[in-house]
Amino acid sequence: MPGPSIQVRPQCYWMLRDEHATDWTRGLDVILQVGELSDMVTPPQDFPKCGSFVGPDYFLI
């Protein structure tokens, strides 16, 4: 790298999103895992998991 610089390599998950996408592509983000699973910080015990969310009741009319 030319000149003074800093290189940071965090071991974590990165989410890529196309901010210029049209409405039909919502939800098509990409998650990248950088590093090994053993390098990742473990979430707290009470952190929500997939399917554990209990939201308000929705009524379809």
Task: Please name every residue paired with 2 in a beta bridge, in sequence order, or none if there are none.
Answer: none
Please state, in angstroms and as integers, the Cα–Cα distance from residue 26 to each residue in 14, 36, 50, following that order.
17, 28, 19
pLDDT for 3: 72
Which amino acid is residue 22, in one-letter code?
Answer: T
Map out the domains of the chain as residue ranges. 9-38
| Tens of pLDDT, residues 3-38 | 788 777 788 888 887 777 666 666 678 888 988 988
pLDDT for 10: 81
Rounded Cα distance, 40 and 56, in Å: 32
Please state, in angstroms and as integers, the Cα–Cα distance from residue 22 to each residue in 14, 15, 26, 38, following that order.
22, 18, 8, 37
